[in-house]
A and B are shown apart, each in its own frame.
Chain A
Amino acid sequence: MIELRQVSKMYFRGKRSHQVTVTAVQEIDLKIDPGEFVVITGRSGCGKTSLLNIIAGLSRPDSGQVFVDGTDVWTMKDEDISALRNQKMGFMFQVPSLIPTLNVLDNVVVPTMFAPKEKQKDAYPHAKQALKAVRLSHRMDAFPRHLSAGEEKRVVIARAIINNPPVLLADEPTANLDELTEKEVMALVQEIHRGGTTIILVTHHPSLIGYGTRHLTMLDGKFVARE
């Protein structure tokens, strides 16, 4: 379903005169089958988020190919890649990612704006269902600034699943959460996985390894261990 072939990504840091090249992802090969729960771990700066962004079609690799359902993502036009993200992937970002000017319900509805017309019709009922699934029905009218960190993560999960994507990409989904909230969030992610969604989760937190069906460890842009 998702396949990476010899994918590399470099970044340039510093001013032009003293620019340093950082290799974030180095010639990675990876195949992820439908229904898998892949946990990628590694220290900060090892290239986990870069890899996730490449898988998501958010960041163009410098070399190599990314296939989603057999199609080379980076041969597609921007509109098609955007549609692919919208229909096939849900995102949980490391940083707060709700639109501050929209309330919780509207935030959850956002991905349906880019969905086909027939999905847009039932956007709000679906968003309410998604919020019910993450147990936040009572906070529909609240704005992001009024939410706790745990509530915000749950809204992000609701937003990620509203289009029923087959893949959920989670970047440090439990960052800045207390132990109890972490367990709540991961329970929701597990529930989504049980529903047949492929999960790709990157974290530096070893406690999340147990949730996955496969564990990969990254170091300096490469996989150093595969379990």
Chain B
Amino acid sequence: MTLLYLVLQGLKERQFRSLLIVFFILVLTGFLLATTVILRGVEKSLRSGMEKLGADIIVIPYDITEEAQKEVLAGRLGTTDWMPADNVRRISEMEAVERVSPRLYLGTIKGSSYLTNDELFVIAFDPETDFTILCWLKEKPQGTLKVGDAIGGASINRIATSGRILVNDYALTLAGKLEPTGVWYDQALFITFETARDMIAKGSTFNNVSLDTVTNITVELKPGYDAAKMAMEMVLVAPGIWPVQAPKLMTILASQRAGLIKSLFIALGIIWILAVILTGFVFSIIVNERRREIGMLRATGASCNFIFRLFLAESAILAIGGGVAGIILSTLFLYFTRSWIMSTLEIRALLPALPGLVAFIVGCFLIALILVLPALLYPAVRASRLDPAVAMREV
């Protein structure tokens, strides 16, 4: 007979309590992994946006509604507010400005069959001045963009490059596709202002959008100029605008997710405390109920060390069992709900590549074990220090 046999027989015969402890650890590990993967997805998405959006300042109309401001800042482009296209010229003439590029939100096509998400944003942009969209292209299209050409975001995955896309009965050619950006670009179809003009001329209507307006202007400053100071000067040059500095934009985006992240952390903390308390409690009950068994083992020759190892092995098996089950369930949960999580949090990537995922799993597993260690060690230490004579008497 071995220590392991003794432990396994004990666990088999005390199934309910064993499963209860496994469940506590399962919840803790599973939640830890899910939270970590989700937070990493959010963080990566934000970082990616910050690194690649490129603009120092994004100019939007000042008098749009608060709700619309939030939507614009969140990258959802659900606003119907525009500003005069002349602002582009005014800002471009500023000494500190290196380049400017306008964008015009034309409309949203709901229930589009070209992408997984059900909303497709149609945006007019200027390829000549653009410095934030075409840099995401997977492959450069041959020649310049012609009238009728479009560039699609990464989520437009149900049609191949060179395929036809019908927007308001106007046939566009998908001339190129962007890399995944993690922001609204993925759901957008970019066309030139000439194409937009041609579409409107041929009867496509976009809520009476005027081509003399723009929705936002991306601005790159010359090196050495302070973005905050230049933003203030822009307001003087082009009244009625709201220049948002790129880092500030990301801060606003981040703060919108901060509530969720905070909630996840609080929930994780509560689950950890509960798991530790309940695991410790259940294990203490088990130790108490087994005082006579401990006394008997000590009387027949078990040392304190053996009793400690016995309870530690039992704890370790339960913890590893719960940890593995938690990891498996959590991974399955993340895999099957990834689309919902991604669309809810407006992030593009959730599950990391396999090596990264393995690292996350191992990390979370070890952290969960370390977190429940006090709850598992305390009863084992108590059991090993139990006076055998007292243990035999008290039960």
Whether A110 contacts B1 in the complex (CB less than 8 A), given A78-B304, A79-B305, comes out as yes
> Is the C-beta of B357 less than 8 angstroms from some C-beta in chain A?
no
Q: Are A82 and B292 in contact (CB under 8 A)?
A: no
- Contact call A93/B299, Cβ cutoff below 8 A: yes
| Contact of A101 with B1 at beta-carbon distance under 8 Å, contacts A82-B301, A110-B300, A114-B302 already known | no
A101 touches which of B9, B390, B392, B395 (Cβ 8 Å): B9
Answer whether A99 and B301 are a contact pair too, CB < 8 Å, given A112-B1, A113-B1: no
> Given the interface contacts A93-B296, A101-B12, A110-B297, does A78 sit within 8 Å of B303 by beta carbon?
yes
- The reply to whether A101 and B298 form a contact with Cβ atoms under 8 Å apart is no
Residues of B within 8 A of A (CB): 1-3, 5-6, 9-10, 12-14, 292-293, 295-306, 387-390, 392-393, 395
Asked whether A97 and B296 contact (CB < 8 A) given A58-B388, A102-B9, A110-B1, the answer is: yes
Task: Verify B301–A86 contact, CB threshold 8 A.
Answer: yes
Q: Are A114 and B301 touching (Cβ within 8 A)?
A: yes
A56: Cβ under 8 A from any B Cβ: yes
Check B306 against A114 for contact (C-beta < 8 Å). Answer: yes
How far is A49 from B299 in the complex, measured between Cα atoms in Å?
14
B387: nearest chain-A partner, CB-CB: A59
Which chain A residue lies CB-closest to B9?
A: A101
Task: Kindly report which residue of chain A lies nearest to residue B2, judged by CB atoms.
Answer: A113
Interface string of A183-207 (1 = CB under 8 A from B): 0000000000000000000000000
Majority secondary structure of chain B interface residues (helix, strand, loop or mixed): helix
Measured as residues with beta carbon below 8 angstroms from the partner, the interface class of chain A is: 20 to 34
Is A225 in the interface zone, CB < 8 Å from B? Answer: no
- Of B6, B304, B388, the contact of A102 (CB 8 Å cutoff): B6
A85 on the B face (CB < 8 A): yes
Distance (whole angstroms) from the CB of A203 to the closest CB of chain B? 17
Are B292 and A111 within 8 A (Cβ)?
no
Task: List A97-121 residues whose CB lies under 8 Å from chain B.
Answer: 97-102, 106, 109-115
Contacts of B14 in A (CB 8 A): 101
Instruction: Please report the C-alpha to C-alpha distance between residue A49 and residue B394 in the assembled complex, in whole angstroms.
Output: 13
Give complex CA distance A206, B301 in Å: 31
* Residues in A whose Cβ lies below 8 Å from that of B12: 101
Q: Which residue of B lies closest to A11 (CB)?
A: B390
A99: nearest chain-B partner, CB-CB? B293
